[in-house]
Structure 1
Amino acid sequence: MKFYNRKSELAELRRIRDLSFSDHSRLTVVTGRRRIGKTSLIMKAVEDMPTVYLFVGRKSEATLCSEFIPVIGQSLDVFVPMEIRTFRSLFQYLMELSSQKPFNLVIDEFQEFYNINESVYSDMQNIWDTYRKKSKMNLIVSGSVYSLMQKIFQNNKEPLFGRADNIIKLSAFDLATLKKIIFDYNPDYSNDDLLALYSFTGGVPKYVELLCDNTELSVDGMISFMVRENSSFTDEGKNLLVEEFGKNYATYFSILSAISGGINTQPEIEAALGDKSIGGQIKRLIEDYNIIVRQRPLLAKEGSQTVRYEIQDNFIRFWFNYFDRYRSLIEIKNFIGLQTIIKSNYSTYSGIMLERYFKQQFAESFQYRAIGSWWEPKGNQNEIDIIALKLEKNQAVAAEVKRQKKNFKPELLAGKVEHLKKKLLPKYRIETVCLSLEDM
């Protein structure tokens, strides 16, 4: 798949690179979940420039250094002493070298030094502080374990706290880019095909690339490709999260499984887990791991107890709904059975994802100051799928989301909106609309 979008991130990385080469060294941190395209973006930003790319695998420090030395020598056409056995010495050598000639140093999976030699971070801090102003290195570090990258650069007790000149958090492709990609690969796509691509991948570049390169991007084609023997999707969710959670991942997985299945309040989740207290895990899933979010009714106070939890990542949500929930089918290699379940449940599942799609569409239009759902704590009779407050004073949109417009009951939405106006938005002019597949 060709390189798509990332214009603002590329422009920022190139701006920093030029400053590093003309002024003095800069440190940029690129974070984001696995498969989000961090390495592709970084290498695009430094292409055709002198660049050293180092991948930190889980090996001994001496082994890594012996692997890095020929890479550095070849990349910069310099002699590097083979006797170097510590990353401290290697980094000092590179900083000294960059005072004579500017170059890019890219260190991928930077958080892995925690498992190799944690003192690397304090060593780097000392060397960086010594050489930064008198050298011209464009240092870019990236990592896909969100919690560790946060800790390294944003915890004030860590040695590299405050050393990053820029932190770029890479997100999934926006909707406009997804539309461009699906059109390039399948000009005759239906909106249901687009919704499926969004629902299954969430716009994560690697998943999009796999589907583009191996299917015709139809709903059935994508499901058949993902759900088959030796599919890379089968264990992807587990591989992605075990790295974050470590050995004690079972409770986190149980919580995420419950949320993906629609059990989304803390009391309900605790009941589903056998009345296990999960307040600490919920807090970590939000603050440390950035995997779930608290959803409150729009305009509810920050401390309101009316809270639902939602998995942010479309792929993780999909993976828990099917690959994790129906693991027994995968164990006996009944992939046809799992395909049948996903296909038969697709209209229900994608209906929920369609609401998420339109919230993102509203956000990417930059015409609103707040977007969310609204519901009352007791009962669902007064629940509105999307409420969006416009930038213009006292104007809002209330939307009901249906896969098919024929299922929309305008009088029902009008009644809910009237109730909302009386309760919360008395001065607002609220436009009501039904959003369906044809509005994508």
Structure 2
Amino acid sequence: MKFYNREKEIAQLHKIEKKSRNTAQMTFMLGRRRIGKTSLLIRATENYKTLYFFVSKKSEPLLCEEFTTEIKNKLGVDIFGELKSFKDVFGYLMDLSTKQHFTLIIDEFQEFNSINSSIYSEMQNIWDSKKNESSINLLLCGSVYSLMSKIFENSKEPLFGRATARIHLKAFDIAALKEILSDHYPEYTKEDLLAFYLVTGGVAKYVEILVEEGSFIKNDILDHVFSDNSLFIDEGKNVLIDEFGKDYGNYFSILSLIASSKTSRVEMESVLEINIGGFLNRLESDYGLIEKVKPIFSKSNSRSIKYQIKDNFLNFWFRFIYKYRSAVEIGNIDYIKNIVERDYDVYSGRILEKYFVDKMMQEGIYSDIGTYWEKGNKNEIDIVAVNEYEKRLVLAEVKRNKDKIKLNILQQKASSLLNNFNKYSIEYIPLSLDEM
């Protein structure tokens, strides 16, 4: 699959590389697993003198042996004696970077935490003492979001404040997904596009799998997800197990409830019969997996709060695969597939709302976008978008079938909301598969 949609990030990495020729740069990149961090770094540095260190779960001396071989092969230097600790390796490279310029990528950087947690403080001391004379371009990448955030953004950690740049790599946007489908299957329908968006969420690895399998039609996409030995079946657990550790049960239960439309804290606590405030805070702030949804224009202290999973694939996985994990354990994947087919129209209708919110955000013409409801979930409006500069308010009803949208009912729902927008032009629009 060709390289898509990373022009801004590549430009930023090239700019950082150029700066590093005069002054040492430390950049950290984070993003969920499978998002394409490593591929991006390799692509952006392919024309530069670059070392690539992968921090696998090995002993420190074995890792340093691998790193030493990489240094000799890529930089053509002789190393006398053995570098048995990463402190020695990093110190050697920082000294070397005062004489020659190169890029160093350290992938799965957070794994040092389990190998030797003192490495971070040792790196800090070496960096602080030698960065002014160095011309190294240091790129640090990790796939455990919470640990990478902690390492660089927690004021109590040694590397806090040392990074000169931060890149948060996100999923492919809607324009990129359309481009990918157009390149590989120009005959795709709006239904196919929705299924592609619904399952992959723009995550590079999932997109790549479907492209390699030639799965672009809705039915083919679902057939592959629920095929024998499909990566997707265990993927949710594989992605999150390192984030949550062995005590993942409560987190998974909460995410499963949110994916099944129990989106308020009260609803979730009534099922789980525990206080989940701390879990919700960590899922939002530490792990970046969920986000609060409030009625647009509500006060900051409003208690009218719902939660949603930000990642499309994880939402799908918790809704259909984790929820029916007993069927997974006995190998009855067809049972789950039948449930997906039964519930697909309702489920995909909700994802269609998210699609249009994403699309409108990416258009860059609105100052605020959200949803709206009143007390008791009354007068719900799927999308409210504001262009404050042009004094324009857009209200949208979203349904898969355009014929089922009643704009007169939408106008009635908006009567209270409009009291705050007397001088605005008001536009009521239907959004369906046809408008994708």
Q: 1:379 to 1:3 in 2, by over 3 A?
A: closer
Residue aligning to 1:396: 393
CA distance in structure 1 between the aligned counterparts of 2:340 and 2:214, rounded to whole angstroms = 17
Aligned mate of 1:367, from 362, 365, 368: 365
Aligned-partner Cα distance in 2 for 1:72–1:179:
41
Name 1:250's counterpart in structure 2.
249
Tell me which residue corresponds to 1:291: 289
| Separation (CA, whole Å) in 1 of partners of 2:13 and 2:181 | 27
- The yes-or-no answer on 1:356 pairing with 2:335 is no
Deviation at 1:82, TM superposition (A): 5.2
Paired position in structure 2 for 1:129:
128
Q: Is the 8 A contact 1:66 1:82 kept in 2?
A: no
Q: Please say if residues 298 and 373 of structure 1, whose CA atoms lie closer than 8 Å, have aligned partners that are also in contact.
A: yes
AA matched with 1:282: L
1:110-143 Cα offsets, whole Å, 9 max, x none, are: 0111101111001101111111111111000000
- Tell me, in whole angstroms, the C-alpha distance in 1 between the residues paired with 2:217 and 2:365: 32
Which residue does 1:387 correspond to in 2? 384
Question: What is the Cα deviation at residue 215 of structure 1?
Answer: 2.8
Q: Which residue of 2 aligns with 1:416?
A: 413
CA distance in 2, matches of 1:270, 1:60: 43
Distance in 2, matches of 1:341 and 1:211, equals 21
Q: Give the aligned partner of residue 149 of structure 1.
A: 148
Q: Which residue of 2 aligns with 1:5?
A: 5
Counterpart residue identity of residue 8, structure 1: K
**3-state SS, counterpart of residue 378 of structure 1:** helix
Equivalent of 1:313, from 306, 311, 315? Answer: 311
2:421 to 405, 425, 436: 425
The two structures, once aligned, show a CA RMSD in angstroms of 1.1
Q: Which runs of 5+ in 2 are unaligned?
A: none
Counterpart position of 2:115: 116
Unmatched tracts of structure 1, length 5 or more: none
What is the letter of the counterpart of residue 338 of structure 2? T
* Equivalent pair of 1:220/1:343 in contact (CA under 8 Å): no
1:70 is matched by which residue type in structure 2? T
Residues in 2 aligned to 1:226 and 1:76: alpha-carbon distance in whole angstroms: 43
Of 326-335 and 88-97, deviating more is 326-335
Match of 1:435 in 2: 431
Q: Which string of whole-angstrom CA distances, capped at 9 and with x for unpartnered residues, describes residues 310-329 of structure 1?
A: 00010110000111011122
The answer to whether residue 346 in structure 2 is matched with residue 338 in structure 1 is no
Q: TM-score, length-normalised on structure 2? A: 0.98
CA distance in 1, matches of 2:177, 2:332: 31
Question: Any conservation in 1 of the 2:215–2:224 contact (CA below 8 Å)?
Answer: no
Shift of 1:393: 4.4
Deviation at 1:71, TM superposition (A): 1.4
Deviates further, 28-37 or 341-350: 341-350
Note the alpha carbon deviations across 1:11-42, whole angstroms, 9 max, x for none.
Answer: 01000101112x12100111100001101111
> Does structure 1 conserve the Cα–Cα contact (< 8 Å) formed by 2:121 and 2:158?
yes
**How far is the alpha carbon of 1:419 from its aligned partner?**
3.0
Counterpart code for 1:162: G
Whole-angstrom CA distance in 1 between matches of 2:373 and 2:426: 16
Give the distance between the partners of 1:211 and 1:414, measured in 2 at CA.
41
1:215–1:225: 8 Å Cα contact kept in structure 2?
Answer: no
What letter corresponds to residue 143 of structure 1 in structure 2?
G
Question: Quick one: structure 1 residues 425 and 123, their matched pair in 2 at CA, closer, same or farther if it must change by over 3 Å?
Answer: same
User: In the alignment, what sits opposite 2:274?
Assistant: 276
SS in 2 for 1:323: helix
- Give every structure 1 segment of 4 or more consecutive aligned residues whose post-TM-superposition deviation is greater than 4 Å: none
Deviation per residue, 1:321-377 (Å, 9 max, x gap): 111011122222222222222122211111100000000111011110100000012
Counterparts of residues 181-260 of structure 1 (less than 5 Å): 181-260=180-259
- Structure 2 distance, partners of 1:276, 1:82, is 57
